[in-house]
Amino acid sequence: MSSDFPAYAPTEEHELLRRTVRELADAKIAPFAAEVDEQARFPQEALDALRENDLQAVHVPEAYGGNGADALATVIVIEEVARACGSSSLIPAVNKLGTVPVLLSGSEELKKRYLAPVAQGEAMFSYALSEAEAGSDAAGMKTRAVRDGDHYVLNGAKMWITNAGVSEYYTVMAVTDASAGARGISAFVVEKADPGVSFGPKERKLGIKGSPTRQVILEDVRIPASRMIGAEGTGFKTALATLDHTRITIAAQALGLAQGALDYAIGYVKERKQFGKAIGDFQGVQFMIADMAMRLEAARQLTYHAAIKSERAMHGETVPDLTFVSSACKCLASDVAMDVTTDAVQLLGGYGYTSDFPVERMMRDAKITQIYEGTNQIQRMVMARQLLK
Protein backbone atom coordinates (compact mmCIF):
# COMPACT_ATOMS: atom_id res chain seq x y z
CA MET A 1 0.00 0.00 0.00
CA SER A 2 1.25 3.46 -0.82
CA SER A 3 2.35 5.46 2.20
CA ASP A 4 0.53 8.48 0.74
CA PHE A 5 -2.83 7.17 2.00
CA PRO A 6 -3.92 6.40 5.54
CA ALA A 7 -3.64 2.70 6.25
CA TYR A 8 -7.14 2.52 7.62
CA ALA A 9 -8.27 5.08 10.16
CA PRO A 10 -9.19 8.68 9.36
CA THR A 11 -6.37 11.17 9.94
CA GLU A 12 -6.55 14.32 12.06
CA GLU A 13 -7.29 16.22 8.84
CA HIS A 14 -10.25 13.93 8.15
CA GLU A 15 -11.65 14.51 11.63
CA LEU A 16 -11.19 18.27 11.30
CA LEU A 17 -13.10 18.09 8.02
CA ARG A 18 -15.87 16.14 9.75
CA ARG A 19 -16.24 18.78 12.46
CA THR A 20 -16.25 21.56 9.88
CA VAL A 21 -18.91 19.93 7.69
CA ARG A 22 -21.04 18.95 10.70
CA GLU A 23 -21.05 22.51 12.01
CA LEU A 24 -21.92 23.83 8.55
CA ALA A 25 -24.67 21.24 8.05
CA ASP A 26 -26.18 21.89 11.48
CA ALA A 27 -26.20 25.65 10.89
CA LYS A 28 -27.02 26.02 7.20
CA ILE A 29 -28.62 22.75 5.97
CA ALA A 30 -30.55 21.09 8.80
CA PRO A 31 -32.83 24.12 9.43
CA PHE A 32 -34.26 23.79 5.92
CA ALA A 33 -34.40 19.98 5.67
CA ALA A 34 -38.05 19.56 6.73
CA GLU A 35 -39.21 22.37 4.45
CA VAL A 36 -37.25 20.96 1.51
CA ASP A 37 -38.88 17.58 2.07
CA GLU A 38 -42.39 18.95 2.59
CA GLN A 39 -42.26 21.20 -0.47
CA ALA A 40 -40.27 18.69 -2.58
CA ARG A 41 -38.01 21.53 -3.66
CA PHE A 42 -34.33 21.61 -4.48
CA PRO A 43 -32.22 22.46 -1.37
CA GLN A 44 -30.73 25.69 -2.73
CA GLU A 45 -29.63 26.69 0.76
CA ALA A 46 -27.50 23.57 0.94
CA LEU A 47 -25.97 24.14 -2.49
CA ASP A 48 -25.15 27.74 -1.56
CA ALA A 49 -23.56 26.68 1.74
CA LEU A 50 -21.53 23.93 0.11
CA ARG A 51 -20.35 26.25 -2.66
CA GLU A 52 -19.36 28.97 -0.18
CA ASN A 53 -17.20 26.45 1.64
CA ASP A 54 -15.88 24.66 -1.47
CA LEU A 55 -17.50 21.37 -0.45
CA GLN A 56 -19.77 20.59 -3.42
CA ALA A 57 -17.16 18.44 -5.22
CA VAL A 58 -14.12 17.98 -3.00
CA HIS A 59 -12.96 14.94 -4.99
CA VAL A 60 -11.93 16.87 -8.13
CA PRO A 61 -8.12 16.80 -8.45
CA GLU A 62 -6.11 19.96 -7.94
CA ALA A 63 -4.92 19.72 -11.55
CA TYR A 64 -8.47 20.56 -12.63
CA GLY A 65 -9.16 23.29 -10.10
CA GLY A 66 -10.43 21.10 -7.28
CA ASN A 67 -9.42 20.33 -3.70
CA GLY A 68 -7.98 16.95 -4.58
CA ALA A 69 -9.56 15.44 -1.49
CA ASP A 70 -9.21 11.68 -1.16
CA ALA A 71 -12.09 9.22 -1.28
CA LEU A 72 -12.35 9.02 2.50
CA ALA A 73 -12.68 12.80 2.78
CA THR A 74 -15.43 12.70 0.16
CA VAL A 75 -17.24 9.99 2.14
CA ILE A 76 -17.04 12.10 5.30
CA VAL A 77 -18.48 15.16 3.53
CA ILE A 78 -21.41 13.17 2.15
CA GLU A 79 -21.97 11.39 5.47
CA GLU A 80 -22.10 14.61 7.47
CA VAL A 81 -24.42 16.38 5.01
CA ALA A 82 -26.73 13.34 4.96
CA ARG A 83 -26.88 13.40 8.77
CA ALA A 84 -28.67 16.74 8.35
CA CYS A 85 -30.51 16.22 5.04
CA GLY A 86 -30.50 13.23 2.73
CA SER A 87 -31.55 15.24 -0.33
CA SER A 88 -28.70 17.72 0.16
CA SER A 89 -26.10 14.95 0.41
CA LEU A 90 -26.85 14.09 -3.21
CA ILE A 91 -25.15 17.31 -4.31
CA PRO A 92 -21.59 16.12 -3.55
CA ALA A 93 -22.51 12.46 -4.13
CA VAL A 94 -23.92 12.94 -7.63
CA ASN A 95 -21.19 15.39 -8.60
CA LYS A 96 -18.79 12.54 -7.94
CA LEU A 97 -20.95 9.98 -9.75
CA GLY A 98 -21.19 12.14 -12.86
CA THR A 99 -17.50 13.03 -13.00
CA VAL A 100 -15.83 9.71 -12.16
CA PRO A 101 -16.29 8.38 -15.74
CA VAL A 102 -14.45 11.46 -17.01
CA LEU A 103 -11.75 11.01 -14.39
CA LEU A 104 -11.33 7.32 -15.20
CA SER A 105 -11.59 7.33 -18.98
CA GLY A 106 -11.95 10.85 -20.34
CA SER A 107 -9.46 12.70 -22.49
CA GLU A 108 -7.37 15.48 -21.01
CA GLU A 109 -9.50 17.91 -23.03
CA LEU A 110 -12.70 16.63 -21.41
CA LYS A 111 -11.21 16.75 -17.94
CA LYS A 112 -10.08 20.33 -18.31
CA ARG A 113 -13.35 21.46 -19.86
CA TYR A 114 -15.83 19.80 -17.51
CA LEU A 115 -14.17 19.20 -14.14
CA ALA A 116 -13.16 22.80 -13.41
CA PRO A 117 -16.72 24.24 -13.48
CA VAL A 118 -17.86 21.49 -11.12
CA ALA A 119 -14.91 22.07 -8.78
CA GLN A 120 -15.62 25.80 -8.76
CA GLY A 121 -19.33 25.35 -8.02
CA GLU A 122 -20.44 26.73 -11.38
CA ALA A 123 -22.10 23.50 -12.55
CA MET A 124 -23.34 20.15 -11.32
CA PHE A 125 -22.78 16.81 -13.07
CA SER A 126 -25.29 13.93 -13.21
CA TYR A 127 -25.06 10.33 -14.42
CA ALA A 128 -27.47 8.87 -16.98
CA LEU A 129 -27.29 5.09 -17.24
CA SER A 130 -30.72 3.64 -16.37
CA GLU A 131 -33.73 3.48 -18.66
CA ALA A 132 -37.35 2.44 -18.19
CA GLU A 133 -36.55 -1.09 -19.42
CA ALA A 134 -32.88 -1.13 -18.40
CA GLY A 135 -32.48 -0.79 -14.64
CA SER A 136 -30.63 -3.70 -13.08
CA ASP A 137 -30.09 -4.94 -16.64
CA ALA A 138 -28.30 -1.76 -17.66
CA ALA A 139 -26.72 -3.43 -20.69
CA GLY A 140 -30.23 -3.71 -22.16
CA MET A 141 -30.41 0.03 -22.83
CA LYS A 142 -32.00 1.34 -26.04
CA THR A 143 -30.57 4.88 -26.25
CA ARG A 144 -28.60 5.13 -29.49
CA ALA A 145 -25.64 7.26 -30.58
CA VAL A 146 -25.05 7.27 -34.34
CA ARG A 147 -21.83 8.58 -35.85
CA ASP A 148 -22.27 11.42 -38.31
CA GLY A 149 -18.92 12.74 -39.51
CA ASP A 150 -17.11 14.25 -36.55
CA HIS A 151 -20.31 14.22 -34.45
CA TYR A 152 -22.66 11.72 -32.80
CA VAL A 153 -26.43 12.03 -32.81
CA LEU A 154 -28.14 10.70 -29.67
CA ASN A 155 -31.73 9.54 -29.32
CA GLY A 156 -33.40 7.94 -26.34
CA ALA A 157 -34.64 8.54 -22.80
CA LYS A 158 -32.80 7.97 -19.54
CA MET A 159 -34.83 7.38 -16.40
CA TRP A 160 -34.38 7.91 -12.64
CA ILE A 161 -31.69 10.54 -13.20
CA THR A 162 -30.76 12.25 -9.95
CA ASN A 163 -30.63 16.06 -10.02
CA ALA A 164 -31.81 16.04 -13.64
CA GLY A 165 -32.69 19.51 -14.82
CA VAL A 166 -30.50 21.12 -12.17
CA SER A 167 -27.19 19.68 -13.37
CA GLU A 168 -25.52 21.33 -16.35
CA TYR A 169 -23.64 18.19 -17.45
CA TYR A 170 -24.56 14.51 -17.85
CA THR A 171 -22.55 11.36 -18.41
CA VAL A 172 -24.78 9.49 -20.86
CA MET A 173 -24.39 5.85 -21.84
CA ALA A 174 -25.65 5.00 -25.33
CA VAL A 175 -25.46 2.11 -27.81
CA THR A 176 -23.05 2.76 -30.68
CA ASP A 177 -23.01 -0.84 -31.98
CA ALA A 178 -26.24 -2.75 -31.44
CA SER A 179 -24.66 -6.04 -32.53
CA ALA A 180 -21.96 -6.01 -29.84
CA GLY A 181 -24.04 -6.19 -26.65
CA ALA A 182 -22.37 -4.53 -23.67
CA ARG A 183 -19.27 -3.97 -25.80
CA GLY A 184 -21.35 -1.80 -28.10
CA ILE A 185 -22.07 0.83 -25.43
CA SER A 186 -20.19 4.12 -25.35
CA ALA A 187 -20.12 7.01 -22.88
CA PHE A 188 -20.59 10.70 -23.71
CA VAL A 189 -20.77 14.07 -22.00
CA VAL A 190 -24.07 15.76 -22.81
CA GLU A 191 -24.82 19.33 -21.78
CA LYS A 192 -28.17 20.59 -20.54
CA ALA A 193 -27.93 23.37 -23.14
CA ASP A 194 -27.47 20.99 -26.10
CA PRO A 195 -30.36 21.33 -28.57
CA GLY A 196 -32.71 18.35 -28.24
CA VAL A 197 -32.13 17.80 -24.51
CA SER A 198 -35.25 17.99 -22.36
CA PHE A 199 -36.50 16.60 -19.06
CA GLY A 200 -39.56 14.70 -17.95
CA PRO A 201 -41.71 15.77 -14.99
CA LYS A 202 -40.27 15.33 -11.50
CA GLU A 203 -40.99 11.92 -10.02
CA ARG A 204 -43.22 11.95 -6.93
CA LYS A 205 -41.14 9.96 -4.47
CA LEU A 206 -41.26 8.40 -1.02
CA GLY A 207 -38.09 10.14 0.08
CA ILE A 208 -35.15 12.36 -1.01
CA LYS A 209 -37.87 14.68 -2.24
CA GLY A 210 -35.56 17.66 -2.44
CA SER A 211 -33.40 16.04 -5.08
CA PRO A 212 -35.23 16.11 -8.42
CA THR A 213 -35.46 12.75 -10.19
CA ARG A 214 -36.49 13.07 -13.83
CA GLN A 215 -36.13 11.54 -17.26
CA VAL A 216 -33.42 12.94 -19.48
CA ILE A 217 -34.88 12.94 -22.99
CA LEU A 218 -32.55 13.03 -26.00
CA GLU A 219 -34.07 13.92 -29.38
CA ASP A 220 -31.54 14.19 -32.20
CA VAL A 221 -28.95 15.59 -29.81
CA ARG A 222 -25.90 16.30 -31.94
CA ILE A 223 -22.62 16.50 -30.03
CA PRO A 224 -18.95 16.55 -31.11
CA ALA A 225 -17.22 13.18 -31.20
CA SER A 226 -14.63 14.68 -28.86
CA ARG A 227 -17.23 14.44 -26.10
CA MET A 228 -17.02 10.64 -26.10
CA ILE A 229 -15.57 9.41 -22.80
CA GLY A 230 -12.86 6.91 -23.70
CA ALA A 231 -12.87 4.81 -26.84
CA GLU A 232 -16.01 3.69 -28.64
CA GLY A 233 -17.45 0.55 -27.08
CA THR A 234 -15.82 1.06 -23.67
CA GLY A 235 -18.77 2.84 -22.05
CA PHE A 236 -20.17 -0.12 -20.15
CA LYS A 237 -16.75 -1.02 -18.81
CA THR A 238 -16.40 2.58 -17.63
CA ALA A 239 -19.87 2.44 -16.08
CA LEU A 240 -19.01 -0.66 -14.04
CA ALA A 241 -15.65 0.80 -12.98
CA THR A 242 -17.41 4.00 -11.94
CA LEU A 243 -19.84 2.12 -9.71
CA ASP A 244 -16.94 0.43 -7.93
CA HIS A 245 -16.06 3.89 -6.65
CA THR A 246 -19.47 5.51 -6.26
CA ARG A 247 -21.35 2.74 -4.48
CA ILE A 248 -19.15 3.85 -1.58
CA THR A 249 -20.70 7.32 -1.69
CA ILE A 250 -24.17 5.78 -1.34
CA ALA A 251 -22.89 3.88 1.68
CA ALA A 252 -21.74 7.25 3.03
CA GLN A 253 -25.19 8.73 2.51
CA ALA A 254 -26.71 5.76 4.33
CA LEU A 255 -24.28 6.18 7.23
CA GLY A 256 -25.24 9.82 7.60
CA LEU A 257 -28.96 9.12 7.59
CA ALA A 258 -28.51 6.40 10.20
CA GLN A 259 -26.29 8.61 12.36
CA GLY A 260 -28.79 11.46 12.23
CA ALA A 261 -31.59 9.16 13.32
CA LEU A 262 -29.51 7.55 16.07
CA ASP A 263 -28.39 10.92 17.44
CA TYR A 264 -31.96 12.19 17.53
CA ALA A 265 -33.25 8.99 19.14
CA ILE A 266 -30.57 9.09 21.85
CA GLY A 267 -31.49 12.66 22.72
CA TYR A 268 -35.16 11.74 22.83
CA VAL A 269 -34.88 8.65 25.07
CA LYS A 270 -32.78 10.61 27.58
CA GLU A 271 -35.52 13.22 27.91
CA ARG A 272 -38.78 11.29 27.40
CA LYS A 273 -40.19 10.06 30.72
CA GLN A 274 -42.59 7.19 31.32
CA PHE A 275 -43.32 5.30 34.56
CA GLY A 276 -41.43 7.97 36.47
CA LYS A 277 -38.09 7.82 34.65
CA ALA A 278 -36.42 8.44 31.30
CA ILE A 279 -37.20 5.66 28.83
CA GLY A 280 -33.45 5.44 28.16
CA ASP A 281 -33.16 3.89 31.63
CA PHE A 282 -35.12 0.82 30.51
CA GLN A 283 -32.97 -2.09 29.42
CA GLY A 284 -35.11 -2.87 26.38
CA VAL A 285 -34.53 0.63 25.03
CA GLN A 286 -30.82 0.46 25.93
CA PHE A 287 -30.43 -2.75 23.96
CA MET A 288 -32.07 -1.14 20.92
CA ILE A 289 -29.73 1.86 21.10
CA ALA A 290 -26.69 -0.37 21.55
CA ASP A 291 -27.62 -2.52 18.56
CA MET A 292 -28.26 0.54 16.39
CA ALA A 293 -24.87 2.03 17.23
CA MET A 294 -23.04 -1.29 16.89
CA ARG A 295 -24.39 -2.03 13.42
CA LEU A 296 -23.80 1.55 12.31
CA GLU A 297 -20.17 1.49 13.41
CA ALA A 298 -19.59 -1.84 11.63
CA ALA A 299 -20.99 -0.37 8.41
CA ARG A 300 -18.90 2.78 8.85
CA GLN A 301 -15.66 0.86 9.25
CA LEU A 302 -16.35 -1.24 6.14
CA THR A 303 -17.21 1.90 4.19
CA TYR A 304 -14.03 3.70 5.23
CA HIS A 305 -12.04 0.58 4.39
CA ALA A 306 -13.60 0.57 0.92
CA ALA A 307 -12.90 4.28 0.51
CA ILE A 308 -9.19 3.74 1.10
CA LYS A 309 -9.18 0.99 -1.53
CA SER A 310 -11.05 3.28 -3.93
CA GLU A 311 -8.41 5.97 -3.48
CA ARG A 312 -5.62 3.51 -4.20
CA ALA A 313 -7.39 2.34 -7.35
CA MET A 314 -7.93 5.93 -8.55
CA HIS A 315 -4.18 6.39 -8.31
CA GLY A 316 -3.48 3.43 -10.55
CA GLU A 317 -2.93 0.65 -8.04
CA THR A 318 -4.45 -2.76 -8.74
CA VAL A 319 -7.04 -3.46 -6.05
CA PRO A 320 -8.51 -6.89 -6.80
CA ASP A 321 -11.20 -6.78 -4.12
CA LEU A 322 -12.49 -3.25 -4.79
CA THR A 323 -15.64 -4.52 -6.50
CA PHE A 324 -16.41 -6.80 -3.57
CA VAL A 325 -15.81 -4.27 -0.79
CA SER A 326 -17.65 -1.45 -2.56
CA SER A 327 -20.71 -3.67 -3.07
CA ALA A 328 -20.41 -4.96 0.49
CA CYS A 329 -20.27 -1.54 2.12
CA LYS A 330 -23.15 -0.17 0.03
CA CYS A 331 -25.29 -3.20 0.82
CA LEU A 332 -24.46 -3.32 4.52
CA ALA A 333 -24.68 0.43 5.15
CA SER A 334 -28.01 0.79 3.38
CA ASP A 335 -29.52 -2.20 5.17
CA VAL A 336 -28.25 -0.79 8.46
CA ALA A 337 -29.65 2.65 7.63
CA MET A 338 -33.09 1.19 7.01
CA ASP A 339 -32.94 -0.76 10.28
CA VAL A 340 -31.60 2.13 12.36
CA THR A 341 -34.02 4.74 11.03
CA THR A 342 -36.96 2.36 11.51
CA ASP A 343 -35.85 1.69 15.08
CA ALA A 344 -35.52 5.44 15.66
CA VAL A 345 -39.15 5.90 14.62
CA GLN A 346 -40.09 3.09 17.03
CA LEU A 347 -38.20 4.71 19.90
CA LEU A 348 -40.07 7.97 19.41
CA GLY A 349 -43.37 6.10 19.40
CA GLY A 350 -46.31 8.09 18.04
CA TYR A 351 -44.12 11.19 17.72
CA GLY A 352 -41.75 9.28 15.47
CA TYR A 353 -44.56 8.68 13.01
CA THR A 354 -45.25 12.38 12.58
CA SER A 355 -43.48 14.90 10.38
CA ASP A 356 -42.97 17.15 13.41
CA PHE A 357 -39.89 15.04 14.12
CA PRO A 358 -37.11 14.26 11.61
CA VAL A 359 -36.78 10.51 12.01
CA GLU A 360 -39.70 9.61 9.74
CA ARG A 361 -38.05 11.66 6.98
CA MET A 362 -34.76 9.89 7.59
CA MET A 363 -36.51 6.52 7.37
CA ARG A 364 -38.12 7.46 4.05
CA ASP A 365 -34.84 8.82 2.73
CA ALA A 366 -32.94 5.71 3.81
CA LYS A 367 -35.05 3.37 1.69
CA ILE A 368 -33.61 4.57 -1.61
CA THR A 369 -30.08 3.66 -0.52
CA GLN A 370 -31.11 0.00 -0.76
CA ILE A 371 -32.29 0.55 -4.34
CA TYR A 372 -30.21 2.97 -6.38
CA GLU A 373 -26.73 2.42 -7.76
CA GLY A 374 -27.65 -1.23 -7.85
CA THR A 375 -30.31 -2.83 -5.66
CA ASN A 376 -29.02 -4.77 -2.70
CA GLN A 377 -30.09 -7.96 -4.44
CA ILE A 378 -27.77 -7.02 -7.30
CA GLN A 379 -25.01 -6.17 -4.81
CA ARG A 380 -25.27 -9.68 -3.37
CA MET A 381 -24.99 -11.13 -6.88
CA VAL A 382 -21.91 -8.99 -7.53
CA MET A 383 -20.31 -10.10 -4.27
CA ALA A 384 -21.07 -13.76 -4.91
CA ARG A 385 -19.55 -13.60 -8.41
CA GLN A 386 -16.41 -12.02 -7.00
CA LEU A 387 -16.14 -14.79 -4.43
CA LEU A 388 -16.85 -17.63 -6.85
CA LYS A 389 -14.91 -16.56 -9.95
Q: Report the catalytic residues.
A: 373
Angular region, 359: left φ>0, alpha ψ -120 to 50, beta rest = alpha
AA identity, residue 266: I
User: What is d(CA 270, CA 282) in angstroms, rounded to the nearest whole number?
Assistant: 10
Half-sphere exposure of residue 350, counting CA atoms within 13 Å on the CB side? 0
User: What is d(CA 194, CA 236) in angstroms, rounded to the nearest whole number?
Assistant: 23
Angular region, 220: left φ>0, alpha ψ -120 to 50, beta rest = left
Q: Which 3-state string (H, E, C) describes the chain? A: CCCCCCCCCCCHHHHHHHHHHHHHHHHHHHHHHHHHHHHCCCCHHHHHHHHHCCCCCCCCCHHHCCCCCCHHHHHHHHHHHHHHCHHHHHHHHHHHHHHHHHHHHCCHHHHHHHHHHHHCCCCCEEEECCECCECCCHHHCCCEEEEECCEEEEEEEEEEEECCCCCCEEEEEEECCHHHHHHHEEEEEEECCCCCEEECCCCCCCCCCCCCEEEEEEEEEEEEHHHEECCCCCHHHHHHHHHHHHHHHHHHHHHHHHHHHHHHHHHHHHHCEECCEEHHHCHHHHHHHHHHHHHHHHHHHHHHHHHHHHHHHHCCCCCCCHHHHHHHHHHHHHHHHHHHHHHHHHHHHHHHHCCCCCHHHHHHHHHHHHCCCCCHHHHHHHHHHHHHC
